[in-house]
Amino acid sequence: MSHAIIIPIYCENRNTINLCNELQNFGAEHIVVVNDGLNPKSEYFNELTSIGCHLVHLKNNNGKGASLKAGIKYAHDNLYNITGYITCDADGQHNDVMKISRMLDLRNGSLILGKRDYKKSKMPINIRIGNRLSSAYFKVITGKSCKDTQTGLRGIPAFLYDTVMKT
């Protein structure tokens, strides 16, 4: 796989380590974990490093968007032959991450967005409403439908790097 997987974290959670192990078992070579303000000297980060993850440490909690940009920038500047970036949350989406990777390969040049299953989700109502509003706005602006504009699971072709970094 020639994609960098970007995982932002803001708390130590065993799920992140499990996810990274499973992604490596599925063939992921480039996993970038972005620490959004945690103590970088924690044993937790030693374990992530020992399993082959690249780490990016932000000094302060800057939020998910800044973490994703930092991870994408790191991959762009430090990893070779990257053809895309996959962003995901550390909540056990390994199968979906691999689907996004295959889609990036098959649909060269397309932005790929994951979609949550709202029927199984315990998403609070205010988040659902916000997502519906942003989806409606997206349709007005682009003319295209996107049911889940706020998904954390995305496949971004490498050629969109400059566009991603500007937003």
pLDDT at 118: 61
- Give the model confidence (pLDDT) of 5-29 as tens digits: 999 999 888 889 999 999 999 889 9
Helix 94-106 with 14-25: angle, nearest 10 deg: 50
**Rounded Cα distance, 79 and 77, in Å:** 6
Q: Which residue has the higher pLDDT, 7 or 137?
A: 7
The pLDDT of residue 79 is 95
- Which pairing describes strands 154-157 and 112-113: parallel, antiparallel, or unpaired? antiparallel
What's the confidence (pLDDT) of residue 121? 65
pLDDT in tens, 95-127: 789 899 999 989 878 888 887 666 666 778 887
Mean pLDDT of all residues in 32-38: 93
Please give the pLDDT value at position 21: 92
∠ CA(81), CA(69), CA(87), 5° rounding?
Answer: 70
Of 113, 104, 95, the C-alpha closest to 153 is 113
pLDDT of 150 reads 75
Element of type H or E holding 85: strand 84-87
Average pLDDT value for the chain: 88
Look up residue 135 and give its two tokens.
């989806």
pLDDT of 36 over the 90 cut: yes
- The answer on pLDDT for 1 being more than 60 is no
Check whether 56 has a pLDDT greater than 70.
Answer: yes
What angle (nearest 5°) sits at the alpha carbon of residue 154, between those of residues 127 and 115?
A: 50
Phi, psi of 60 (to 5 degrees): -120, 165
Q: 72: exposed, middle or buried (C-beta count within 10 Å: 0-12, 13-18, 19+)?
A: buried
pLDDT score for 125: 83
Q: What is the pLDDT of residue 119?
A: 61
| Average confidence (pLDDT) over 158-167 | 91
